[in-house]
Each structure stands twice: as C-alpha cells, then as structure tokens.
C-alpha cells in the first residue's frame, strides 16, 4: 500500500490529482490511500509520519508550500515530496527541501505516472524486511514500516500496525532481538516502539502515531539519544 497526501487549496486540481492517482492504481495494480488537505496549516499542524508521498502545491493560503515543506522535513526526512505548481521559477527551489520532483499545472497523467514509478522504486529500496503475523485463521505479511509498536500482555505480543492489531504468543525479549536493528526501541519492559512514528515525548509517556505509550524512567535518556541518532541518520533511510 502507498499512502498519499495531497496538499492543494484548489478543489479542481485536488480532484484531478485524485483521478490520476486512481488511474495509476488500476494500471499498475497497486493499492493507494489518498488524503486531501486544503491548506499547509491543516496538513502540518497534526502531522505524523504515515505518508509515503506528499503532493504539495506551492501557492497555498496562510503558509505557502515551501514553508510547509521546510516544517515537514523537520518532522519527516523520509517521505517523498512532489511539488505541484503553476510557477516554474519556484519549482527548482523544491530541491532545497529534498523534493523528488515537480509537476507544472495544468497536470496530466503521464508526468504523475513517471513520478509515482520513482516513488515505488524508493519504497522498494527502503522496505528491507517484512514480518509475518496472524489474525484468527489468516496470516498477513506486514512491512516493518507499517508496524507502530509492540506490547506484551500476559504471554502474548500485541503488534499494533497500520492495518490494525495482531496477537501472537511470544516474549518481548525475542521481539526486541528481532526488531532492534530496524529502527525499534524498547522504551519500557512492556513496549517496543518504531522510532519512525514518534510524535512527542512527555515526562512518562511517548506518543507513537496517535497512541500514548509509557516510558521507563531509566530508559528515557536512551530513548532521546536513539531518536536523535535515528533522524540524524535520515530517519531510517
């Protein structure tokens, strides 16, 4: 699954982008989720690193696309960023914030498909591991990119993923040994978190995606160091 965000204040262009993305989805046989935001403020104010690619209009109200992109890169160095603009002179500035490319309005399907192919190649390079999890009688292969955190409950490990929760018999020590080298950190005896999804750290809790997870007092300093090193090294790229 490829998770897409469109940041565009003009409804007609947002609609065109969505139509072309659905066309790409059918032609390439991939699954897309598409969220649309009408301003950079709405997009960035409650941002969490769940998207694989962001289509960003440069001319936006209140906060222009370039300002939004600068803030985005502070929060997420990994997401693919594509500018959509009617102003050629601003498009090249996109590379200052690590943009993958840009499209000039009015947009068409072909340049979008070329850029989305680049996004797919980028994701293929980054997806180094999957984990096989079961839910009832079904078995699913889940990318580690989509695994938010693991918690232990009695003799079970609960895997919290983008697709929901999975429950497996197991030990936290085993999960830590398996995932520790892939951007995961054990912040308490009962919780192993994906640093990619960390949004905030309070005195006794860390926000992982939209959920709050307890932090062991003796591991808080190590967690802060792990987060700093993670994003210093490109957010797991």
pLDDT of residue 91: 52
* Distant-in-sequence, close-in-space partners of 31: CB < 8 Å, separation ≥ 6: 1, 2, 25
pLDDT in tens, 208-218: 988 999 999 89
pLDDT category of residue 50 using cuts at 50, 70 and 90: confident
**DSSP line for 125-151:** HH---EEEEEETTEEEEEEGGGEEEEE
Residue 205: HSE in the Cβ half-sphere, 13 Å Cα cutoff: 7
pTM for the whole structure: 0.58
pLDDT in tens, 177-200: 888 878 899 999 999 999 989 888
* Distant-in-sequence, close-in-space partners of 70: CB < 8 Å, separation ≥ 6: 97
Single out the residue of 158, 149, 227, 226 nearest to residue 193, CA to CA. Answer: 149
pLDDT in tens, 112-135: 999 999 999 888 776 556 787 877
Domain boundaries, the chain: 2-123, 130-232
227: tokens are: 């987060």
Kindly report the CATH number that applies to the domain delimited by 2-123. 3.40.50.2300
189: tokens are: 């005896």
* Fold exhibited by the domain 130-232: OB fold (Dihydrolipoamide Acetyltransferase, E2P) (2.40.50)
pLDDT of residue 137: 64
pLDDT in tens, 141-159: 788 888 999 999 988 999 9
Residues 103, 82: Cα–Cα separation, whole Å: 8
Residues 148, 143: Cα–Cα separation, whole Å: 11
């Amino acid at each position: 699954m490829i998770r897409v965000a469109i940041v565009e204040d003009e409804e007609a262009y947002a609609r065109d982008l969505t139509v072309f993305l659905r066309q790409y989805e059918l032609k390439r046989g991939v699954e897309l989720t598409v969220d649309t935001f009408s301003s950079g403020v709405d997009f960035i104010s409650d941002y969490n690193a769940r998207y694989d690619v962001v289509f960003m209009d440069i001319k936006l109200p209140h906060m222009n696309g370039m300002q939004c992109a600068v803030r985005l890169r502070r929060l997420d160095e990994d997401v693919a960023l594509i500018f959509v603009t009617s102003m050629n002179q601003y498009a090249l500035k996109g590379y200052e914030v690590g943009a993958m490319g840009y499209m000039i309005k009015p947009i068409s399907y072909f340049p979008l498909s070329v850029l989305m192919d680049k996004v797919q190649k980028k994701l293929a390079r980054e997806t180094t591991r999957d984990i096989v999890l079961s839910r009832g009688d079904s078995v699913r292969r889940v990318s580690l990119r989509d695994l938010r955190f693991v918690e232990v409950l009695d003799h079970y490990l609960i895997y919290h993923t983008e697709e929901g929760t999975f429950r497996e018999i197991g030990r936290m020590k085993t999960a830590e040994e398996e995932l520790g080298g892939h951007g995961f950190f054990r912040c308490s005896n009962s919780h192993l978190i994906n640093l990619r999804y960390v949004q905030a750290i309070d005195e006794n809790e860390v926000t992982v995606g939209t959920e709050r997870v307890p932090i062991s007092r003796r591991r808080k300093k190590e967690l802060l160091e792990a987060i700093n090193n993670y994003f210093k090294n490109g957010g797991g790229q």
